[in-house]
Chains A and B, each alone.
Chain A
Amino acid sequence: MRFAPFLLIALAGCSRSTAIDRLGADEATAREAIAEFANRGEAALPELRVAAAHEDPLVRRRAKTAMGRITGQWGCDRGLVWKRSLEEATGKGKPILVLQLFGKFDEEFC
């Protein structure tokens, strides 16, 4: 009986799905997982790189969406992190490259 709390914690840990698993779940769960990855920032990119090669196309697409939230470019993590406005980039002492496009660069079909 005195081991019950430890058993419950262990069971809770086993039933908890990973963020990658949740990318393949229903829309609401996947949205939460994407937000979780985005909050982790660039540290989440190695895990997302794996998810972007997942056998499930839905997981692949959602992983690329999460990558887009982090890097500013949908599905890409080549080390470039895009700013979303010129104001964020000015006055930093470096020349600026501005890409103007239809749609949003961090979304699919831009």
Chain B
Amino acid sequence: MTFSDKRVVDLVKDRMIPVWESVAPVSIAVFDLGDGRKVKGTMGGEIALYFCRPDGKVFDILPALHSPHVTYWAIKNALDFYDKTGATDPETVAYHSARLEEVKKSGAGEVSPAAERSLSKRKAKYASSDGGTRALVEMTTSKTGIMTGPEPVTVVEPGGLEMHKRAIHVVMSGTFSLLAPQQWKDYVFGRILQEELKGGEFEYDVDTLAPISIIED
């Protein structure tokens, strides 16, 4: 877990004030297997990290869950930028404009044809499946919390770092005044992470599940 990692924890503890905000209840899918057996999993629990000035205005964003290593360096870079510039509004816009030019030149964060094919295939599957199958696909392709006795096991598949960073540079280079994290959440979760801000517990009948290929999906 990223926020149990010593390097990340030490850096945050020394230099920042950590805050968490819930954007929606967690989504929980329950599959009743009969005979009192149930499989329960959490779905699509994306996160976003916002780097803010002491007045609470966001100067950089890291969408999605990443490894402790990636998260550490994102925090470190944000702090270096803050130390050098104070993350004033004009400095922040200039920073993101310059980074955007760099990624455009290098091609970093562009959606590859293979990624586009994979995304459209996944969307098509979503459109044609029942709720239970969609939940199962979601559990197998993003974050999965599986009840295996008294302790949960969480499997996370991170990805999309450069794509997300590019999207942030695009939007923040065109910002006129910096905003608070709450003002960003719809954009970050809805547009960048493509995740609806809704949750709750849903119970599905296993008989409705369509066969899926975990490797392919």
The residue that B25 contacts in the complex, of A57, A84, A102, with Cβ under 8 A, is A102
For chain B, what secondary structure do more than half of its interface residues adopt (helix, strand, loop), or is it mixed?
A: mixed
A80 touches B18 (CB 8 A): yes
B19 touches A88 (CB 8 A): yes
A93 touches B54 (CB 8 A): yes
Question: Bound state CA distance, A86 and B79, in angstroms?
Answer: 18
B81 to chain A, nearest CB (A): 10
B53 touches A102 (CB 8 A): no
A78 touches B6 (CB 8 A): yes
- Tell yes or no: A99 within 8 A of B by CB: yes
Render B17-61 as a binary contact track against A, CB cut-off 8 A, 1 for contact.
111111111111000000000000010111111111111101000
The residue that A110 contacts in the complex, of B6, B44, B45, B188, with Cβ under 8 A, is B45
Question: Bound state CA distance, A3 and B150, in angstroms?
Answer: 48
Task: Categorize the interface residue count of chain B.
Answer: 35 or more
B40 to chain A, nearest CB (A): 9
- Tell yes or no: A50 within 8 A of B by CB: no
Contacts of B47 in A (CB 8 A): 99-102
B15 touches A94 (CB 8 A): yes
Question: Bound state CA distance, A78 and B188, in angstroms?
Answer: 28
Q: A80-B18, A85-B21, A86-B21 are in contact. Are A95 and B51 (CB under 8 A)?
A: yes
- Tell yes or no: B125 within 8 A of A by CB: no
Binding site for B on A (CB under 8 A): 57-58, 60-61, 72-73, 76, 78-86, 88-105, 108-110
7 interchain residue pairs of minimum CB distance: A103-B26, A57-B150, A96-B52, A98-B50, A89-B17, A105-B20, A90-B56
